[in-house]
């Protein structure tokens, strides 16, 4: 099992979120990236759009399937990772770093878990 970073929180839908100074950086976990297979396309929310915790806000397409991307927090999208949209395979190679997807100015957090709880979820 991949090492799960402890400096962020996780959703049951396999997104990670790191919140600092009211801004959340969002990505998908290594577990999700491995389950998806080779990521070939990302449809991310637009800058300025509102996202609601627990609701779909985009899609990730792989060679295996298309999966919805869920917002782990409620707020306004403040940036998207254009590099990842141009080279979506970075989600597979570096999901906790260069493969981040978008940032949100946080109004409220959804139900999130720490790394220990997320590890239990994925290894259960």
Give residue limits of the domains in the chain: 9-109
Chain mean pLDDT for the chain: 96
Q: How far apart are CA 38 and CA 65, in angstroms?
A: 10
Helix (H, G, I), strand (E, B) or coil at 91: helix
CATH architecture for the domain at 9-109: Beta Barrel (2.40)
pLDDT at 1: 46
Residues 12 and 32: beta-carbon distance below 8 Å: no
pTM of the shown model: 0.96
Residues 67 and 59: beta-carbon distance below 8 Å: yes
Q: What is the pLDDT of residues 6-15, one digit of tens each?
A: 999 999 999 9
């Amino acid at each position: 099992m991949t090492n799960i970073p402890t400096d962020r929180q996780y959703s049951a839908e396999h997104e990670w979120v790191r919140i600092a100074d009211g801004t959340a950086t969002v990505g998908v976990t290594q577990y999700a990236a491995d389950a998806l297979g080779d990521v070939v396309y990302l449809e991310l929310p637009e800058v300025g759009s509102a996202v609601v915790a627990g609701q779909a806000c985009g899609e990730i397409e792989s060679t295996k399937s298309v999966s919805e991307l869920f917002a782990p927090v409620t707020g306004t999208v403040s940036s998207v990772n254009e590099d990842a949209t141009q080279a979506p395979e970075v989600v597979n190679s570096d999901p906790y770093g260069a493969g981040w997807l978008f940032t949100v100015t946080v109004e409220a957090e959804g139900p999130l878990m720490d790394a220990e709880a997320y590890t239990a979820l994925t290894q259960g």
